[in-house]
Structure 1
Amino acid sequence: MDAGASSEIVTLRRSAASVGQGFASVKIDDCKIIVTRDRDKNAPEKYIIKGVCYSNDANGLTFYENLDRDLELLKAIHANSIRTFRPFAAYKEGAETVELDYEKTKLMLDKLAGAGISVTVGFDSARDIIGGIRDDATGRVYREAFYMEYIKAFASHPAVLAWAFGNEYNYKYAEWFGGDKGRWLAILADAVKNAKAVSARPTAVVHGELPREAEMLEYRAIHGLDMVMLNIYRGPGFGTLYKDWKSLSRATPMPVVLSEFGRSSMDGRGNDTSALQAAWLEKMWAEIESNSTGSGAGGYVFSLKDEAWKGDFDSGPNIGLESHLGLFTADGQPKPAARVLMRLWKAAEHEKELRGKN
């Protein structure tokens, strides 16, 4: 991070909260995420996610090396949660397989909890559940059922909000499962069952867009699946999403958690759209907040920082270049969107504090 960026982050952070607020328990109850804090186990409260998706590389192997710097960015915008696509973990050096470094991983989770930031820990089907494949970057092999090693180790850690399996696999059945959707549903059901056997934290699947009725029936058939999180990219608003979700989930009430939403700061022609990104995110968050009194439980902006490994892939007018979806540049320079969310999330924090005093 250059000196200019560092100085601007200090300015952004002047009023950032730093009170640790880890969880003693998390549960889904009547379309709400209900948490009790470690500091006051007898005061359950509704939890609204003010979160960002968080990656530092394509396969989630460098969280440990980057966390201290990135934690400053998270505090600056008053985020209270992150969502990862792979386990939020550190790994042992020199091992032939991808092996968990327990002490470093616990230190990372402790730092999150100490900053009042939770994590929805993501697991990839091929790498973390099935295993046996070789990582292109490191040459190491992913171990079978690594997800269970992780969940057993941190089943009730106060930083953990939920366990999330897959990421919009409904778009990839043909590519990743030979067109056999049932194969993924069986893997998911088994993973949820195993997670529930060792951890009381909620389980989730991440779905691209709003599921069809038939898809919701399939998810509802999975015993122990607590949430269907949604990746939504519809432009500056969400249309009838919340109304449609209420009807769709009536048989098994679940909160609406947006596992991804946002907009790039660059379009497919290379034009700077950072002002548009900021304006859209302001509208999106206003809509999320207005629905938080019902089944809305917040969501995760994609993403904390720009992700250069995405290349020049253009996802169309509702998204733009995927490599420039960050609230911050890759080196930590805040974009206008970061300042917008800092203002909005700081205001939400202040309002919550006022309610607590009355």
Structure 2
Amino acid sequence: MNRKFEKQKTLAREVSFCGIGLHSGKNVTMTLKPVASDTGIIFHRTDRSNGSASILSNFSNVVNVDHSTNLGNTRGDCVIRTVEHLLAALHAFGIDNLLVELDGPEVPIADGSSKPLVSLIENAGTRELPYYKERMYIRKPVEYSDGDKFIRISPHKKLKITYHIDFRHHLIGKQSYSLVLTKNSFVKKIASARTFCLLHEVEYLRKNGLAKGGSLKNAVVVAEDKVLNGGLRYNDEFVRHKVLDLLGDLSLIGKSLVGHVEVYKGGHHLHTKLIQEIFSRPDSYTIEKAGSKPFPVSAPMSLQKRADHIERLEFFPLPNTAL
């Protein structure tokens, strides 16, 4: 079958964003730098001087999914928290190669959604690279369940998401949302949906060292009788944000995924478990790339060594733009 393969992309110029980390509570400056090499998305902490400060955005580097998706290096001495909202935006815009520099431990939370990050990417623009994207086509259904929660993926001609949530709170309750991912569908329907929590959870989170930077400016907080922020951006903003999180987590596959993902009562734990299940079943998918025949792959090649040698990246000599 003849398929049209897309070229990989990076940003057209460097851009920066400053803000607080949702869980760390620390102010962080994030700089997105376009790269000319086929390297993937690499996070690099500029506040650390040793060579272990670089982490490849790959599911094998996920170290924790407690209320956010967090990446760590193989040595266990460097962590980047809350990468999912940025990765979702990069995923939607088809950004494959990028250096994300942070002078702290966490991606800034902005307003709790990907909307400010979309503006950042749109301001930078994108450019094609002389490499083709790889696509992972799902050939057989794969499912993971945990009690009454489940996530499954089945064959489809595009990346389609169907998400269901069911909260025992009358202001959230049962919500469902479905879409086929395109840049436009993400920007118009998903990017603005904010992260959320119930008011009674806030004390627990902070006692456990989380949500130190949380506020009504960067999260929807739901009390017993009302939304404390004064309103929602969508009536179903809660489930739309779950779709946003899922898209960020799926980007950790490192390839363009083609299949229908269905989730019931999901979260980062289920999202990353699905990725593990897919790679544990090489008969369930094929990887296709321009100029090559379809081929199965049992697991992604480890690219941590490449991430640990950030000085080898090829950069475009482009001007800076700080927002």
Shared topology, TM-score over 0.5? Answer: no
Higher share in strand: 2
Q: If the TM-score is normalised by the length of the shorter chain, which range does it land in? A: under 0.3
TM-score for both structures, normalised by structure 1 = 0.24
**Which of the pair is proportionally richer in helix?**
1
TM-score norm. by structure 2 comes to: 0.26
